[in-house]
Every structure is written in structure tokens, then in C-alpha cells.
Amino acid sequence: MGHKKVGVPSRRYTSEFKVEAVKLGHSVGMSEASRRLGIPDSSLFNWVRLERKGKLGTSSGVTATPRSAKELEAEVDRLRRELASAKVDNEILKKAAVSTGAQYGPAIGVQL
């Protein structure tokens, strides 16, 4: 009698995921990228091969919308303001955590 192969169930990945996985593989190495993403090495290597042939992500329909320099600069400014605000919030939370920890003793305190 034949035995059914037991292993990782087959998964379907979006074209966008595959393209981003290949980019990650190029930046950190294929084995590391597949480990981080929880995908088989063989899948990532197959996607790289498809990318080299120009067949990866061609049917995804994902296209970049061209944006003017002014729009991009406005977004960068907005993101910088948002980052500055988040940094201030983090500092407030750190001070509150230290203050609360000092009030209730070292068992509850947060080490920074």
C-alpha cells in the first residue's frame, strides 16, 4: 500500500509577496530570508529563478503610481513630524515607567 506524504501543506503566495521575498533574499541572503519568512528555501530559490527569467510578478497588476516631487516631499515632511511625535511619546512613557517603577519597587519597575 502507498503511504501518503506527510509534510508542509501546500501554500499559495501572492505575486507581491514573492517579489518582496526575492528582494529580501537579495539583501540578507536566501537562506536567512526564507527562515525569516517561514517559507521553504526551495520556494524562494524558484522565485529567484523566475525573476531572472523576467516571469515573476508580471501578472500581479501592481504598478507604482507616479508622484510628483512636491507630493513626495510633503509625505517625507509628514512622516518626519509623525516620527518626532512618536519619539516624544516614547520618552514620556519611559519616564512614566521609571517613575512608576520607583514608586512600587524594583519588582514592578522597568529596566531601560
- Residue/partner pairs of 47-52 with CB below 8 Å, 24 or more apart: 47/18, 47/21, 47/22, 48/22, 50/18, 51/19, 51/22
Give me the percent of the chain exceeding a pLDDT of 70: 74
The whole model's pTM is what?
0.45
**Chain segment 38-69, per-residue pLDDT in tens:** 999 999 999 999 999 988 875 544 455 677 88
